[in-house]
A = this chain, B = another copy of it.
């Protein structure tokens, strides 16, 4: 059984546009951009062409014809295969029906924030909150501008989602900044005095409790 690798959402987007009609890669990119899908799916040419290669190798799409206009580079037009059509719905059902753990950069920052002194962290969190505020406004303006242009709101739910997450992130960030400033979280006082006495070792040891070990068992073990 050839294990399918569904890590790259760009491959799904390629299958989706090719389900409409055959296209060459550059046109796929243009189509995705015109629909604003490049806001939700990472898109750049290097990845696009190697993704198309991969899908071809796996038999989910197939080259239909190659054409050439004048002395321009050749264009290879691809179409989706029956296997490919099955894969789209199956993969999409997986994306919409389950939740996958992701690793946001900011979460890494929070896990390691003990390295910096608490007052510095508070100031940085406030900066971040302001940036998130702007981002939320930017998303809002895209949505209103696009719906004013006659696009049905159902084609913009991914923007609403993004905005819901940004707003939650903003609320958390502001709240954390306030709590740290007021030392309203257990351990902040020690952290503060540690840095004021010129400390170097940033984070405390944390023992693994039996409950935590049990709770972790359900996650797949990336480190065996």
Contact = CB atoms under 8 A, between A and B. Distances in A.
Interface in A133-176: 135, 138, 141-142, 145-149, 151-155, 157-158, 160-162, 164-169, 171-172, 176
A212 B102 CA distance: 28
Given A112-B13, A222-B42, A212 B168 contact: no
A71 interface: no
A1 interface: no
Given A165-B169, A223-B29, A125 B153 contact: no
How many A residues are at the interface, by size bracket? Answer: 35 or more
A224 to B, nearest CB: 9
Contacts of A67: none
Interface of A: 9, 12-13, 16, 19-21, 29, 33-38, 40-45, 88-89, 92-93, 95-100, 102-116, 120-121, 123-125, 127-128, 131-132, 135, 138, 141-142, 145-149, 151-155, 157-158, 160-162, 164-169, 171-172, 176, 180, 185-188, 190-191, 200-209, 211-212, 215-216, 218, 222-223
